[in-house]
Structure 1
Amino acid sequence: MTAAVEALAPLLPGLAGDFAQTAVLAGACVEWGGSPMALAGVLPKRASEAMMLNDLVPGCWAEAAPGRPLPEPVSASTKQLVQALVTLARPQGRPDKGDMTRIAMSWFDMEDWLKALITVLGDGSFRAAVPAAVMAELRERAAAVCGRSQLAAWVGQLAAVLDNERLVVLDPHARRGYALTMSGVGDNFQLHILLADRLIGDPGRGLLSGVRPDRSWVEAATGADPQLGPENPAIRRFRLFDGHGAYVYPEGVPADIEPLDGTRVLVLHPANGELGMGIGRVFRDMPPALVVDRVLESHEVDSWLSRIAPAVQKDFMATE
């Protein structure tokens, strides 16, 4: 499978339209056990280009065929869209017919590029091999088209995943703090589950008192079937705020947590009721890691608590 991925990777930059399914095949080879690393230099850039071109299609179509509805993004409509958009090509110069054809093809092939990219972005080594500038470009271009593509929204989330990220967690009520390292956490509700699992325990060992999360929730957040269902939702054990006092929404991602003095800080507050989720993790094939490196010394906790801003408790479970 790795040899197949290595053979397919050099072909991808020049493909478009139905041939973009070659990327899906490469992704399938990775799912079947192949290494994704040969794709790191080509697939993210090609998928990013597909999103950029796809974002141009509505404007180009409105210019080429004013008043007419955009064709459905299915292969049967390819000829209609290509014929319309190539009329915008310049006889000499750019964009030429090739450019406009590639733009038109992105209306039909973008999802194929994104399917393959989602598969490989779940691998931490692959994410580490993609330059930061390419990841930033993926996030930007995914944001531009995510309104019409759930796959693009997922790519944007995966491109924002933090790896080997330092995290400080503070409980101002217990006046305790922890230094952790986080990798591969897909969303903040998954982070809620993992934090509760790592930090709630025996106070005599420096942990926090409270009700530990059900084991099935932790397994759903790590490597088991992520679906918990309505009968056994994962209930958060606390509300999270960042070091600037802003509420950390469970629906968000860890990258949304604004750093304080260069470090992402989470401040724990009482849950004030039950908020549950029927899924333990968004990305089934992305293994998370959340490691408690050490319990902070009391003077370190005091230092961090002196720097954090008061929590702006405007979430719907805040108390007066």
Structure 2
Amino acid sequence: MPSEIPRLVGDLVTQMTSGSAPAYRTAMKRLAQAARAGGPETLTATVEALAPLLPGLSGDFAMTAVLAGACVEWGASPMALAEVLPRRASEAMMFNGVVPELWDKAARGRPLPEPESASAEDLVRTLTGPRRWRRGVDRNTMTRIAKSWFDMEDWLKALITVMADADFRAVVPDDVKAELREHAAAVAHRSQRAAWAGALAAVLDEEPLVVVDPRTHQGYALTMSGVGDNGQLHILLADRLVGDPGHGMVAGDRPARSWVEAATSGNPRLSPDAPAIRRFRLFDGQGAYVGPEGVPADIAPLDGTRVLVLHPPNGDYALGVGRVFEHMTPTLRLDRILHPAETKRWLARVAPAVENDLMAD
């Protein structure tokens, strides 16, 4: 580890222990400057030094997680955060979800402070007071619950950065991802970052996908990773499958290069005058409509495999964004065209499309 980093991290811990917010911010700035000036090795060393601190932090000091996430954006490996950051962010969302109910019981009609307000001390003092409604919750836990109202977004900023990395996602246990999705769903109505965190926790990697076209009786085996939503999947499927029917591909107009770039590595936002146009409608193997607004994890498996059934588009359905997560690299690999007998077996198993959904247009 670069010699300067332990000293600067030690100074940061000292300032956190002292409780001095200005001194903490100064120590953070010095550590950030040194880490960034040192390059990837120093950045990774900084993340490794900060990771053990995160589980015990809350309130203003949750900004330490934001610094760790910034180091990853600047070139550090995120792997040292895998055991601590997803769990701490999940806890912050879980705690945040119960704050309104607890405040209603404790505050006697006073309005709940806005998360961006300067009323953190009042909220903590109110929720940690000697009230019977606390029902045995210890003061330290109640303090963390109260501070989650103000610090959750800091944990989510860092989490969103690292969850865009495929290697990082691969080492986060499935039960932790499930908890992230559960707690994110509970607070997503008031936090866009929570909605993003839940979506990232649901991202599929190295996931088999079968696509069948009832019109031509063609089928395709693909593998997808890092696809953030079904709108992106629509664009990538069109890029992989639309081509010469004489070579077993799907007939139709190829997607514009700008659409594919927006869905992969270019600017994710498309011009309002030149949006991506959906090339087909998608239904899953059980007949349910697969809208562009959902995520691939919502595609219900059929006998253990996610199956998509291609249907012609009804009109021009425009997509203004190629991908939701700019720094997450997607892959959709066409592994092979299915043998006619395989396609026939899949087509015999899929349910008829249920086209009574008003959005299935």
| TM-score, normalization by structure 1 | 0.97
1:96 match:
138
2:180/2:198 contact within 8 Å kept: yes
State the Cα deviation string for residues 107-148 of structure 1 (Å, max 9, x = none): 000000001000000000000010000000000000011111
Match of 1:236 among 278, 298, 308: 278
Match of 1:227 among 245, 261, 269: 269
2:330 counterpart residue number: 288
* AA at the equivalent of 1:273: G
Are the structure 2 counterparts of residues 318 and 190 from structure 1 closer, same or farther at C-alpha, using a change threshold of 3 Å? closer
SS of 1:168 mapped into structure 2? strand
Deviation at 1:95, TM superposition (A): 1.2
Give the one of 146, 150, 159 matched to 2:192: 150
Q: 1:250 and 2:292 equivalent?
A: yes
| Same amino acid, percent of matched pairs | 69
**CA shift in 2, pair 1:219/1:101, >3 Å:** same
More helix by percentage: 2
Match of 1:117 among 155, 159, 170: 159
Contact in 1 for aligned 2:284/2:306 (Cα 8 Å): yes
Which residue of structure 2 lines up, in the alignment, with residue 181 of structure 1?
223
Residue 248 of structure 1: SS of its match in structure 2?
A: coil
Matched, 1:43 2:88: no
**Structure 2: how far apart are the matches of 1:224 and 1:317?**
29
> Residues 252-295 of structure 1, C-alpha deviation per residue, up to 9 Å, x if partnerless?
00001000000000000000210011110000000000001100
Query: 2:182 maps to what in 1?
Result: 140
Residue 11 of structure 1 pairs with residue 53 of structure 2:
yes
Q: Distance in 2 between matches of 1:123 and 1:94?
A: 40
Counterpart in the other structure of 1:271: 313
- Cα pair 1:47 1:114 within 8 Å, conserved: yes
User: Per the alignment, in what secondary structure is the counterpart of residue 30 of structure 1?
Assistant: helix
* Maintained 8 Å contact 1:89/1:100: no
Q: Distance in 1 between matches of 2:159 and 2:80?
A: 13
Superposition RMSD on alpha carbons, in Å?
1.6
Tell me the alpha carbon deviations over residues 167-214 of structure 1, each in whole angstroms, 9 at most, x when there is no partner: 000000011000000000000000000000000011222111110000
Equivalence for 2:352: 310
2 CA distance for matches of 1:260 and 1:253?
Answer: 17
State the alpha-carbon separation in 2 of the partners of residues 4 and 89 from structure 1: 42
- Determine the C-alpha separation between the residues in 2 that align with 1:111 and 1:225: 25
Counterpart code for 2:248 = G
**Displacement of 1:299:** 0.4
- In structure 1, C-alpha distance between the alignment counterparts of 2:336 and 2:105, rounded to whole Å: 60
| Distance apart, 1:93 and its partner CA | 8.8
**Alignment-derived partner of residue 10 in structure 2:** none
Q: Which has the higher contact order (CA 8 A, sep 6+)?
A: 1
| Separation in 2, partners of 1:99, 1:199 | 53
Paired AA for residue 323 in structure 2: R
Once the two structures are TM-superposed, the CA of residue 76 in structure 1 deviates from its matched residue by 1.4
Query: Secondary structure at the residue paired with 2:119?
Result: helix
- Does residue 129 (structure 1) correspond to residue 183 (structure 2)? The answer is no
Relative to structure 2, which stretch is displaced further, 57-66 or 104-113?
Answer: 57-66
Question: Under a length normalisation based on structure 2, what TM-score does the superposition of the two structures give?
Answer: 0.86
Q: CA deviation at 1:88?
A: 5.0
Following superposition, the deviation at residue 64 of structure 1 comes to 0.5
Instruction: State whether residues 273 and 317 of structure 1, in contact with CA within 8 Å, keep that contact through their aligned partners in structure 2.
Output: no
Pairs within 5 Å for 1:188-207: 188-207=230-249
Q: Which moved more, 1:306-315 or 1:149-158?
A: 306-315
Aligned length: 319
Distance 1:176 1:14, change over 3 A: same
Is the contact made by 2:228 and 2:295 (CA closer than 8 Å) also made in structure 1?
yes
Q: Which runs of 5+ in 2 are unaligned?
A: 1-42
Q: Greater Rg, structure 1 or structure 2?
A: 2
Aligned match of 1:61: 103
> Aligned pair 1:212/2:254, yes or no?
yes
State the one-letter code of the partner of 1:141. H
Moved more, 131-140 or 75-84: 75-84
Q: Which amino acid in 1 is paired with 2:324?
A: V
Q: Which amino acid aligns with 2:61?
A: F
2:121 to 79, 84, 88: 79
Instruction: Confirm or deny: 8 A CA contact 1:64 1:88 kept in the other structure.
Output: no
Aligned mates of 2:130, 2:93 — CA distance in 1: 20
| CA distance in 1 between partners of 2:98 and 2:204 (Å) | 30
CA contact (8 A) 1:223 1:287 kept: yes
Distance 1:318 1:130, change over 3 A: closer
